[in-house]
Structure 1
């Protein structure tokens, strides 16, 4: 009887088992993977050998890294601010949106589209992967903000005004100031995003544009793929002061693996990047050759002078500054992200292990992996209702 009482006492005082990485709802806010969707001979559900394929996100890797889903980006390169430039960009963005729909709809038993946070939770409960859509660079809208309604209808729930160069809406972090933040049209863009219930993404925007979006937006901002300037002083990264202001207004920074160092973009890498962005024009053999050359260059001239350890140091710093209610993940997979030790999404469980070792709880991890993102999606959509 004494032994029975001892065992009963142990049972009542022992802590419940901690959740495994795959028990969390794990989201990534910026997946550039759609650039692979039109590749000849390529299948999102297929096996892709890293030696001969550069993709970082596919259904097999989503299973391996327990990535439950994320935002598949409609990325449009910046072009001239002319009627023809806008028309060409709009045609491209519409086609990319259609490509995402067409590709993911091939796998109804594995992945489904989400329009709301409740959709995401329902899809997760059904055991499927979650596909939100985002718009990286609003340049394709031209000067017609009514087109935001069209892309909302296409399922876009997260959008940024600008990319690597200034455009009609805002100054870019990668360019010299033109508007000193948002343009007059950019301020109207913020209002229309709020009206439609779409989340505003200041990634790639200048500091001044970020400040103005933070001031003007009636709902929290979500940086889909940005790093902390603490790790590397680069205008693409967000400084601690702005991270605190973002958190104070309910927003979140989804930490990226990019710009933890200078980008080493020599002539050989630039040539490979040019081919990478147009892989839909390459045969399967040419795609494999591109991957082999890319991997070989990684051994002699890595794109980034950083690794998993440096990434986690930055993540832990950002959490300390912002708090667990205002951090999430958007590594910039298939868009230049990934580092030694965290090469693709199959490595995501390592992030959970490291956060565990730093003392973060199940509740903390649930917020950072998906809860904060869905909270902000809901916050944007509530006024629209």
Structure 2
């Protein structure tokens, strides 16, 4: 073979050789660079209320790793600016949760205070955070290297059974509302309360309609299965589950049943898969049930002797360690949502700072890249990872906004809700 032919042969071989396959780490990194995580639920605002009574002049959000046992929660916060950057978070729904035990008028006030402290926190860090009220705002913030900051209300008790209050919450920045939290509202059943309405009441259906008219996302985490179906029957825009798993993988009532997953493609909604271990790992869910039963047994055996109950429950804990949830468990939920509802129906909703810890390897918000590496290991393409991290949620918000534009000529719904605190339908 002549020298000339040898050179041609080598050159042709180099051209024909396939490019080296990217590692899962490389695929995940490329996806998150192009489409950073848009997280559906983070509870920093209630940490600000519980730990600092919403006085944040001296609160350092650059680094919260010193927020340990000396504070009321007794654990280190999961979220700060440094770890959000580490976690490749580009957009965040901050949850303005208030206790479902509050009477409705008190819940309304507390929610306004939580929206206020969230907006003050965003304003305090203009180099890192940007208030986002629209999809365009999110895109602009991400393009400028800031974390787009949206506000989500966790629990319909926060509107005091008033569509007027709902409209004003939207006006001051709320862009989704979870229809219930842990307890029923006077117009909707919760997943974790005794059913009172068989789903949504007529007023509850008007809440969904008015949210669609406003362009406010309807969040179905925390609601009963019947409420989920009623909302899907009424909704004219995609719904979200801001922080839920798949009930077929973990049977907790907070997770989404297959009957609802099957309806999501038609609606266009998404399940933003949660990182809370008790919702991810079925052995962990069983452990919590067993521990609750053991505590009840000990309290029956040792009535009036709380020290005996405490010491024996401590011994039970030592003999029965809590099964740990893993990143792989979280991906199992994502796999299941994909199987039933498709890749377009998946997002991420960590629930950080609203739980004791995330799964092993994702204990705080810095752990999202590890989740996407595991997804890549399971064969998810870069394009699919970008859908999960960011693009599905962007599509949903734009669809909600499009619905509001289409309904611009419609008058506000004026249905009068149940009397505050009465439970009347």
Superposition TM-score tier, normalisation by shorter sequence? 0.7 to 0.9
Aligned to 1:73, which of 95, 113, 138?
Answer: 95
Aligned to 2:399, which of 363, 379, 383?
Answer: 379
State whether residues 28 and 372 of structure 2, in contact with CA within 8 Å, keep that contact through their aligned partners in structure 1.
Answer: no
In structure 2, stretches of 5+ residues that fail to align are 1-6, 53-57, 70-74, 296-315, 406-425
Q: Corresponding residue for 1:44?
A: 61
* Residue-pair matches, total: 352
Equivalence map 1:162-177=2 (5 Å):
162-177=180-195
Could you tell which deviates more after superposition, 14-23 or 210-219?
14-23
Distance across 2 between alignment mates of 1:65 and 1:77: 28
Q: Corresponding residue for 2:247?
A: 229
Distance across 1 between alignment mates of 2:11 and 2:150: 52
Could you tell which deviates more after superposition, 224-233 or 331-340?
331-340
Distance across 2 between alignment mates of 1:172 and 1:102: 31
Aligned to 1:22, which of 29, 32, 50?
Answer: 32
- Does residue 365 of structure 1 match 2:385? yes
Aligned to 2:80, which of 55, 58, 69?
Answer: 58
SS of corresponding position for 1:92? helix
With over 3 angstroms needed to count, the CA separation of the structure-2 counterparts of 1:124 and 1:8, relative to structure 1, is same
Distance across 2 between alignment mates of 1:305 and 1:47: 25
TM-score by length of 1: 0.84
Q: Corresponding residue for 2:138?
A: 120
Equivalence map 1:264-343=2 (5 Å):
264=288, 305-336=324-355, 338-343=358-363
Question: 1:161, CA displacement in angstroms?
Answer: 1.3
Q: Deviations over 1:191-218 (max 9, x none)?
A: 1101101110011110100000001000
Q: Deviations over 1:310-335 (max 9, x none)?
A: 22222222222221110111121111
TM-score by length of 2: 0.77
- Does residue 87 of structure 1 match 2:97? no
State whether residues 64 and 77 of structure 2, in contact with CA within 8 Å, keep that contact through their aligned partners in structure 1.
Answer: no
State whether residues 57 and 345 of structure 1, in contact with CA within 8 Å, keep that contact through their aligned partners in structure 2.
Answer: yes
With over 3 angstroms needed to count, the CA separation of the structure-2 counterparts of 1:334 and 1:303, relative to structure 1, is farther
In structure 1, stretches of 5+ residues that fail to align are 271-296
SS of corresponding position for 2:334? helix
| Larger of the two Rg values belongs to structure | 2
Distance across 1 between alignment mates of 2:110 and 2:253: 28
State whether residues 86 and 366 of structure 2, in contact with CA within 8 Å, keep that contact through their aligned partners in structure 1.
Answer: yes
State whether residues 32 and 333 of structure 1, in contact with CA within 8 Å, keep that contact through their aligned partners in structure 2.
Answer: yes
SS of corresponding position for 1:105? helix
Question: 1:122, CA displacement in angstroms?
Answer: 1.2
Aligned to 1:178, which of 196, 209, 232?
Answer: 196
Question: 1:121, CA displacement in angstroms?
Answer: 1.2
Question: 1:69, CA displacement in angstroms?
Answer: 2.2
With over 3 angstroms needed to count, the CA separation of the structure-2 counterparts of 1:43 and 1:299, relative to structure 1, is farther
Distance across 1 between alignment mates of 2:38 and 2:78: 15
SS of corresponding position for 1:371? helix
With over 3 angstroms needed to count, the CA separation of the structure-2 counterparts of 1:328 and 1:317, relative to structure 1, is same
Q: Corresponding residue for 2:72?
A: none
SS of corresponding position for 2:96? strand
State whether residues 90 and 140 of structure 1, in contact with CA within 8 Å, keep that contact through their aligned partners in structure 2.
Answer: yes
State whether residues 327 and 374 of structure 2, in contact with CA within 8 Å, keep that contact through their aligned partners in structure 1.
Answer: no
Equivalence map 1:216-255=2 (5 Å):
216-255=234-273
SS of corresponding position for 1:369? helix
SS of corresponding position for 1:242? helix
State whether residues 220 and 241 of structure 2, in contact with CA within 8 Å, keep that contact through their aligned partners in structure 1.
Answer: yes
With over 3 angstroms needed to count, the CA separation of the structure-2 counterparts of 1:305 and 1:356, relative to structure 1, is closer
SS of corresponding position for 1:60? helix
